[in-house]
A and B are shown apart, each in its own frame.
Chain A
Amino acid sequence: MNEGLGGKRYPEVRVEVDPARVRAFAHAVGEREGFVPPTFATVPELAGLAQVIADPELALDFSRVVHVEQSYEWRRPLRVGDVLRCRPRIEAVRTRGDTGFLTIVSEIVNAEGEVVVVGRCTLAERGR
C-alpha cells in the first residue's frame, strides 16, 4: 500500500435511505422495525469506500484484507428518506511488520449539510 496517501479525499457519493433497504437491513441485523438501525450507516459508508479500495494509487490487495476495527459516532439518528452524501478521506496508511493498516474516515452528511454520522474503518492488508 502507498503510505503517502494519508489525508487524501475522495469525491462524495450520494445514497438515499430507502425504506425497503432499511427493512432488509433491520431484518439482517435482527433489529425491529420502526426506525433505521444505527449501523445502517455502513451502507453509505461502503458506497464511499468502494472508490478508496479501487484506487490504483493506493494499490490495496483487497483479497488479503480483513476488517479489524470499526467505530461510529452518531450526531443524530438516521431517518428513512434522508438523502445522504458520504465523504471518505484516508486518515492513515501504516505498516506493522508484514501487515498494512488503512484507516478511512467517512463523514456522512444529510441534504442540509449537517453531519449525521462519522464512520471510522480500519482495514488490515495481511502479508503474503
Chain B
Amino acid sequence: MREESATEIGVRRDVIPAIELDHVSKHFDGVKAVDDLSLAVAPGRIFGLLGPNGAGKTSTIRMMLGIMIPDSGAVRMFGAPLGRRSLGQAGYLPEERGLYAKMTARENLVFFGQLCGLDAAGARRKAEAWTERLGIEQRLDDKVEELSKGMQQKIQFIATVIHDPAFIVMDEPFTGLDPINVNQLKSVLSDLRAKGRAIVFSTHRTDQIEQLCDSICLMNHGRSVLQGSVREIRSGYGTHFVEIEYDGGGSFLDGNPLIDSYDRHADYVEVRLKAGADAQALLRSALVCSRIRRFEIKEATIEQIFIDLMSRRDGDG
C-alpha cells in the first residue's frame, strides 16, 4: 500500500478541505513528534486518526486546532491559515475531559458556548436543546462533580458541538460510555456528517474506526504510515485472511508453506496466508485431510492491518 498525498484521500480538488495539513512537522527537544505529515479532510466526512501511544496523534490534533504551532509546514482550515475567525468554526473534545467540576452543567455549557461566539441567551437555548436530545436535561443544573462519568462525557460532547462547528475533532469520544450511550453518540456523529460537518476522530479502537470513518490516517513515530478511504485500504490490502470451519484433523495447518500464521477460535480457524500464496491451493491441501464446512476468503480488518503494519515497522526498526 503506498502512502497517498493529501489531495487524494477523498477530497475532490474542487472542494475546499475543512482541514488541511501540508508537510507539517513538530519536534520537542530533538524528538520529532510529527514528521512531514500531510492530510486533508473534506466537509461531510469522518476521518479517523489511528496510531499507537506516542504516534503523534495528539500533537497533530493540537496543530489542527492552533493550540500548537508547527515548526514547519502549513495548516489551513477551510482554505485559510489558522486564526481567530477560522478557529471559531472548530469544536474540540479532548481525550482528557475538561469541565469545571464546581460549576453546574448549564454554567459550563454557557461559558464554553460564549467563548465560541454565542451570546449567553443563545448558549442557554442550545444547552437546553442538546441536553434534551441526549436525555440529560433534568441534570442541567447539577454541579458537574455530582454527575456520573457518562453524563459528564455527554456534557463534554455538547460543549464541543454547542456552537455548531463546521470542523469537529474528537479524541476518544466514547471512553467511559455504556453501549447504549455509545450508539446514541454515534448516531449524533452520523447526523453531523450528514449535515456536512467534517469530523476528525482519534481513537485506539479500530472497530469504531471501521464503523464510523470514511477515511483514515494510520500514524507511527510521527509519520503517516497509511492513508486512504477505509474501503479502499481494506480492499487494497490483499486477501491474506481466510476463515475455515472443518471436521476432522487440522493437520493441513501445521508446516503448510502457504500459511504465515493462524489463530484457533471456538469453531473455526483464522489463517493468515503468506504473501503471494494462493487461497485455492490452501483449500485443496485442506480437503486432503479434512471435511471443509466453510472456507471464506476475507478482506483484512483495520485491526489486522494495523497490527500487521505496526509489527512490520517494529521489525524493520
Do chains A and B stick together as partners? no
Q: Which residues of A contact B (CB under 8 A)?
A: none
